Amino acid sequence: MELRTASNPRDVKAYDTARLREEFLIDDLFHPDEVKMVYSHIDRIITGSAVPVSGPLTLDAGDELRAEYFLQRRELGVINIGGEGVVTVDGVSYELRYKDGLYVGMGSRDIRLESKDASQPAKFYFNSAPAHKTYPTVYIRPEDCVRVELGTMEESNHRTICKYILPGQVESCQLVMGMTSLKPGSVWNTMPCHTHDRRMEVYLYFELPQDAIVMHYMGQPTETRHIVMRNEQAVISPSWSIHSASATRAYTFIWGMVGENKDFDDMDAVAMSDIR
């Protein structure tokens, strides 16, 4: 498990490209037969992936969590962006198609992930947050989720937001997750931008061809920076930072939020005239 420390916005102003990528970019996800985890000190979120090919993979606490098992004090959200797979939670199996999700509550001991077809392996992407209460494990189909359509073609930001884990639909302690898909011809997300001091966020960009790039924008609204990203890379966004992007073509991204407030609309909007 890789550890990432928190960053002060005053220090980030002096980061060069390499340092920005080192601190915030997660660029080596989805390796066959591997579980990859990045533990961030920002709200203690864990961002990870698992690609089972030869056999099932398990989520273990490792030395970093000082826990008996991975979800002893945590909750978990999983979304599959690969071939069909199976997540087994304490002996109960859930089949996840492409873009299906699963919420797993605190206290679940045995988490196994496997692919139904090794030639088309599942790609499990997950976020995990500290928890204080056990909520039921829930299988999530995108067609059953709350959907919101935003933006316009004229502004190049026509998109659909699909909310997987949020109050009133799938209950959690602090984890909120979902997926945003841009319509063909649209390339901007979360612009006009915002911050939310009460929670941080992680984005995973996917459904991009290998030669496409995403320009992910971060930083304080008057001190913006960018990180060049590619298909199936993730980025950590501190609570003080904007999190927006434009790309060379339409794309999809999974967003995961962790923090004090689970209210999706609790945002501090930034006027376009104030962005620097």
Calculate the average pLDDT of the chain: 96
Percentage of residues in the chain having pLDDT higher than 70: 100
Instruction: Compute φ and ψ for 194, nearest 5 degrees.
Output: -155, 170
In the prediction, which pLDDT does 267 show?
87
What's the pTM? 0.96
pLDDT at 263 over 90: no
Q: Is the pLDDT of residue 83 over 90?
A: yes
Q: Which of 144, 136, 135, 130 is nearest to 260 (CA)?
A: 130
Tens-place pLDDT, residues 174-214: 999 999 999 999 999 998 899 999 999 999 999 999 999 99
Burial of 100 (0-12, 13-18, 19+ CB in 10 A): buried
Residue 87 pairs in a beta bridge with 94, 113
261, pLDDT greater than 90: no
